[in-house]
Amino acid sequence: MSPTSETAQGGRRLVIVESPAKAKTIKGYLGPGYVVEASVGHIRDLPNGAAEVPAKYKGESWARLGVNVDADFQPIYVVNHDKKDQVKKLKELLAESDELFLATDEDREGEAIAWHLQEVLKPKVPVRRMVFHEITKDAIREAVANPRELNKKLVDAQETRRILDRLYGYEVSPVLWKKVMPRLSAGRVQSVATRLVVERERERIAFRSAEYWDLTGTFATGRGGDASDPSTFAARLSAVDGRRVAQGRDFGSTGVIKDGSPVLHLDEANARALAAALAETSFAVRSVESKPYRRSPYAPFRTTTLQQEASRKLGFGAKATMQVAQKLYENGFITYMRTDSTTLSETAVQAARAQVTQLYGADYLPDKPRTYAGKVKNAQEAHEAIRPSGDRFRTPAETGLSGDQFRLYELIWKRTVASQMKDAVGNSVTVKIAGRSADGRDAEFSASGKTITFHGFMKAYVEGADDPNAELDDRERRLPQVTEGDALTAEEITADGHATKPPARYTEASLVKELEEREIGRPSTYASIIGTILDRGYVFKKGTALVPSFLSFAVVNLLEKHFGRLVDYDFTASMEEDLDRIARGEAQAVPWLRRFYFGEGSEGVAGGAADAGNGDGDHLGGLKELVTDLGAIDAREVSSFPVGDGIVLRVGRYGPYVERGEKDSEGHQRADVPDDLPPDELTVEHAEELLAKPSGDFELGTDPVSGNPVIARDGRYGPYVTEVLPEGTPKTGKNAVKPRTASLFKSMALDTVTLDDALKLMSLPRVVGKDAEGVEITAQNGRYGPYLKKGTDSRSLETEDQLFTITLDEALAIYAQPKQRGRAAAKPPLKELGTDPVSERPVVVKDGRFGPYVTDGETNATLRRDDDVETITPERGYELLAEKRAKGPAKKTAKKAPAKKATAKKATAKKTATKATAAKKTAAKKTTAAKKTTTAKKTAAAKKTAAAPAE
């Protein structure tokens, strides 16, 4: 089976790995006769959208999914657009080779990539699967000498995973579009990640703080001290008359002492009284307890731990960490950075040990190399731990690196070296001090310290803590050398108040850690998971904290109520078990998918992630059933959250708002809630404030004529100005007075519009004059821009300025012209494409509301994403038209369509605005508005500016 060295010398072999950087390294190890090239990741995948679905499947009901759910979930694969060139290159290289080695990673995805390569390249020469877990000369040579066969079962497991993710994502996301907001998304990973963040916020909202007090005493030994024997030290009150004093951990999340705990809860008065009663007390050491301390080094980095430490020590976000690591990897400074393994190769262990001896001395080197057992449950261990590359580690100084790359390398280097050093050992000491108060109570204080007698690995590396206030476990704290019975004097005794704090929000790093522990996501995706939930507007960053939006509350609420099993925290872990069974040949992919998608009763495997339903009773409905009948999902209900006092927070298509009372009823109130208001800050009081003064208003001044205040705000149809009528003005009924309102011109923005502008705008419509028949002509600003109106006859104006300047003669001249039927019709076609072979009509490309489209005057078809006005050929035009004709005229609820369109469009604009806002927060505070700035964008930016004038 294995190729002998004789045959190796003869032919030429093509070795395909996943990463170009890896290809480069391996090339050097294999020498002549081997051509090493990269696949650059996956080369084929399910079609992304309709545009990528091959023509022959278009029109199939399942084409949208890219998986034929009616035929054993047969997937449609297409070569990724950006991989076409690479595939071509691989084909060419293969044509010149006598043997093909598929050397992709040895994990589920790698096996699948190998299989796809085989399917696409269709090799006519012998194919071998070769695997290695570390990139060292020996490992590579051994891998070449010991190839194996492709593991089709493992490929099946990957394909099942892929299909499940597609079905989940592409079936559940549209539910959110219909019930919450367009363009939202749901997925096995992102939805659980979002749920974690939401659930933490719920805990924070429900949290009730508790106040508790204690005393801190500063005690003196009466000796002159030094660093190893300080003369004074601080100790905290730990017990009174033998009863332990309550600390933060004794309180539950409701703000009361946990059940049945006999602790003494001190309030401020009690604490101060006790402090006073201890003022004259003489103290003595009651006990000294010393315990040995031992700490082992941390395992070498894997992706998640690197992200966590880079966040804590260097302040990098997950994405930044991976980008810097990628550069280090590409330039040969470190091993692969997307790994779930903490294993070091033999070479690496030797290199680390050599460096320990050289830098710290043999005393710091353990007798045997240290090994670290995998802690990650679903680890696939295709790579080594992240470490400095090579068989001799370069010290940071030797690398010549600088900036972030230097800092990250140094972190990796230190951690790797430290992982092969001895334990740190020392003592931890607890000293208890006692004294009797003036009123006869026994007060016990306690202090603990730690001395390190041998630093071991700490010489090289100390891990950072998530909570900067928490005392580092590794840090030393020295207490004076006291013994039982020693007299101490209290220099000062102070009463300190404390409050329990709600659980901290997730940070990027802590969320990634949580996901890894729950087996959700993979090393290559952790950073992008954060990116996805940020992009969707499910979370936003406040400092380093990830704060869920109200939108995410609505989405998670819907998913929990109607897709409970899918957002169960164990869903992925359970799926992984099932996939492992498929990989071992103990389960079949198709029945498993059938059960997931079509539900129980459609032949299936027992238990596991294939139970898609919400777990109600015994019936386990399939995903298909859940997304088909949406009548049970009350959109209003899932996006409503009571705030208290009759106020409800709702998540609407245009963002969150608070509301009191029913619409159109007496006392109905409604106000926008800023997109970036942390949900736990929306108290009843805050909601009342918002209702009292709708947010987003720009007060422009007072109309000198009416005396009414004039404000600018963002509305349903974009930014507008309006006057605030005095209290008591009837708003409904016969005598209703409507405030004058007017949309801003396109050239204006909410944050820059002036009172003069507003007054001018509100003076519209302007009467231009009357025509010969005495019909009044007015100039108005409308949805489609400035226009003239005479009865029911309206004509567009070219500029907004004309509204104020156009004369009657000019207006009459416009009306003398025949009416233009729409502005689009007036525009010349962008391109002519000759005559359509079917309709025999001339085909042209036009620019419409939805972008460029081809038309023969009868059938219209929008250009697809890959089409371009400049390069489109007549043939492609005919093809698009033919496709369109085949599909037949799209006739839906034609009447309702316009309103719906406007809504959807608007929502999109706002969505973009949210994004722009988020981007603005992270990036510099430049005015990035630039050319394409929509009105909505400007509005959002304006809101932000208004909210934070300190900038």
| Interactions with DNA, residue window 110-129 (CB under 7 A) | 110, 113
- Residue 848 touching DNA (CB under 7 A): yes
- Residue 107 touching DNA (CB under 7 A): yes
Among the residue ranges 20-28, 240-248, 465-473, 558-566, the one whose residues contact DNA (CB under 7 A): 20-28
Contact call for residues 98 and 11 (beta carbons, < 8 A)? yes
Six token digits for residue 579:
């996939």
Minimal distance in Å, beta carbon 918 to DNA?
Answer: 13
Among 191, 238, 308, 500, binds DNA (CB under 7 A): 191
Contact call for residues 118 and 91 (beta carbons, < 8 A)? no
Measured CA distances, 737 to 131, 730, 734 (Å): 79, 6, 9
Q: For residues 551-580, which are near DNA according to CB under 7 A?
A: 572
CA separation for the pair 499, 505 (Å, rounded): 17
512 φ, ψ to 5°?
-60, -40
Among 50, 487, 737, 948, binds DNA (CB under 7 A): 50
Measured CA distances, 104 to 37, 91, 383, 580, 772 (Å): 11, 17, 11, 20, 83
- Residue 661 touching DNA (CB under 7 A): no
- Residue 544 touching DNA (CB under 7 A): no
- Residue 41 touching DNA (CB under 7 A): yes
Write a three-state SS string for 733-798.
CCCCCCCCEEECCCCCCCCCCCHHHHHHHHCCCEEEEECCCCCEEEEEEECCEEEEEECCEEEECC
- Residue 538 touching DNA (CB under 7 A): no
- Residue 600 touching DNA (CB under 7 A): no
Among 652, 678, 679, 877, binds DNA (CB under 7 A): 652
Residue with tokens 């007015």: 778
The answer for residues whose C-beta is within 8 angstroms of residue 336's C-beta and 6 or more apart is 19, 22, 135, 329, 383, 384, 386
Among the residue ranges 93-101, 105-113, 199-207, 241-249, the one whose residues contact DNA (CB under 7 A): 105-113
69 φ, ψ to 5°?
-70, -15
Q: Which is nearer to DNA, 187 or 877 (CB)?
A: 187
Contact call for residues 758 and 721 (beta carbons, < 8 A)? yes
Question: For residues 622, 625, 627 and 630, what is the CA-based torsion angle, rounded to 10 degrees?
Answer: -140
CA separation for the pair 899, 365 (Å, rounded): 74
Among the residue ranges 46-54, 207-215, 257-265, 470-478, the one whose residues contact DNA (CB under 7 A): 46-54
Six token digits for residue 607:
């238990």
Q: Is 293 noted as a catalytic residue in this protein?
A: no
CA separation for the pair 859, 253 (Å, rounded): 64
- Residue 336 touching DNA (CB under 7 A): yes
Among 409, 550, 853, 878, binds DNA (CB under 7 A): 853
Among 137, 670, 686, 831, binds DNA (CB under 7 A): 670
Omega prior to 123 cis, within 30 of 0 = no
Q: Is 269 exposed, middle or buried (0-12, 13-18, 19+ CB in 10 A)?
A: exposed
728 φ, ψ to 5°?
90, -5
Among 35, 114, 127, 169, binds DNA (CB under 7 A): 169
Residue with tokens 């060419």: 92
Residues in the chain: 951
Element of type H or E holding 513 = helix 508-517
Q: Which is nearer to DNA, 124 or 932 (CB)?
A: 932
Q: Which is nearer to DNA, 186 or 264 (CB)?
A: 186
Minimal distance in Å, beta carbon 445 to DNA?
Answer: 51
Q: Which is nearer to DNA, 136 or 355 (CB)?
A: 136
- Residue 708 touching DNA (CB under 7 A): no
Contact call for residues 258 and 500 (beta carbons, < 8 A)? no
Measured CA distances, 912 to 294, 554, 855 (Å): 54, 19, 30
Six token digits for residue 89:
């290159």
Minimal distance in Å, beta carbon 190 to DNA?
Answer: 4
Among the residue ranges 397-405, 415-423, 622-630, 648-656, the one whose residues contact DNA (CB under 7 A): 648-656
- Residue 174 touching DNA (CB under 7 A): yes
x/- binding map, residues 723-752, to DNA, per CB under 7 A? ---------------x--xxx---------
Q: Which is nearer to DNA, 364 or 571 (CB)?
A: 571
- Residue 512 touching DNA (CB under 7 A): no
Catalytic residue (one of 212, 336, 506, 538): 336
- Residue 18 touching DNA (CB under 7 A): yes
CA separation for the pair 307, 325 (Å, rounded): 10
Q: Which is nearer to DNA, 182 or 842 (CB)?
A: 182
Q: For residues 798-827, which are near DNA according to CB under 7 A?
A: 821-825
- Residue 719 touching DNA (CB under 7 A): yes
Q: Which is nearer to DNA, 263 or 947 (CB)?
A: 947
CA separation for the pair 534, 918 (Å, rounded): 8
Among 12, 20, 123, 839, binds DNA (CB under 7 A): 20
Q: For residues 888-927, which are near DNA according to CB under 7 A?
A: 889-890, 898, 901, 904-905, 910
Plot region of 537 (φ>0 → left; ψ -120 to 50 → alpha; else → beta): left
Among 616, 717, 775, 948, binds DNA (CB under 7 A): 717
Among 734, 849, 895, 896, binds DNA (CB under 7 A): 849
Q: For residues 193-252, which are near DNA according to CB under 7 A?
A: none
Element of type H or E holding 918 = helix 897-922
Minimal distance in Å, beta carbon 182 to DNA?
Answer: 4
Other C-beta atoms closer than 10 Å to the C-beta of 380 total 18
Among 173, 451, 702, 706, binds DNA (CB under 7 A): 173
Minimal distance in Å, beta carbon 112 to DNA?
Answer: 8
Residue with tokens 């409904």: 732
Contact call for residues 781 and 742 (beta carbons, < 8 A)? yes
Q: For residues 275-294, which are near DNA according to CB under 7 A?
A: none
Minimal distance in Å, beta carbon 673 to DNA?
Answer: 10
Among the residue ranges 330-338, 475-483, 625-633, 702-710, the one whose residues contact DNA (CB under 7 A): 330-338
Minimal distance in Å, beta carbon 813 to DNA?
Answer: 17
Q: Which is nearer to DNA, 186 or 421 (CB)?
A: 186
C-alpha 9 chain-centroid distance:
51
- Residue 345 touching DNA (CB under 7 A): no
Minimal distance in Å, beta carbon 695 to DNA?
Answer: 10
CA separation for the pair 775, 788 (Å, rounded): 13
Minimal distance in Å, beta carbon 48 to DNA?
Answer: 5
- Residue 109 touching DNA (CB under 7 A): yes
Using CB under 7 A, count the residues that bind DNA: 115
Minimal distance in Å, beta carbon 371 to DNA?
Answer: 24
Among 170, 213, 393, 745, binds DNA (CB under 7 A): 170
Q: Which is nearer to DNA, 175 or 365 (CB)?
A: 175
Minimal distance in Å, beta carbon 252 to DNA?
Answer: 34
- Residue 655 touching DNA (CB under 7 A): yes
Q: For residues 859-878, which are near DNA according to CB under 7 A?
A: 860-862, 864-865
Q: For residues 769-798, which are near DNA according to CB under 7 A?
A: 780, 782-785, 787, 789, 792, 794, 796
CA separation for the pair 855, 840 (Å, rounded): 12
161 φ, ψ to 5°?
-60, -45
Element of type H or E holding 861 = strand 860-862
Q: Which is nearer to DNA, 591 or 694 (CB)?
A: 694
CA separation for the pair 798, 783 (Å, rounded): 14
Residues linked to residue 832 through DSSP beta bridges, in sequence order: 844
The answer for residues whose C-beta is within 8 angstroms of residue 484's C-beta and 6 or more apart is 285, 286, 287, 288
* Catalytic (active-site) positions: 336
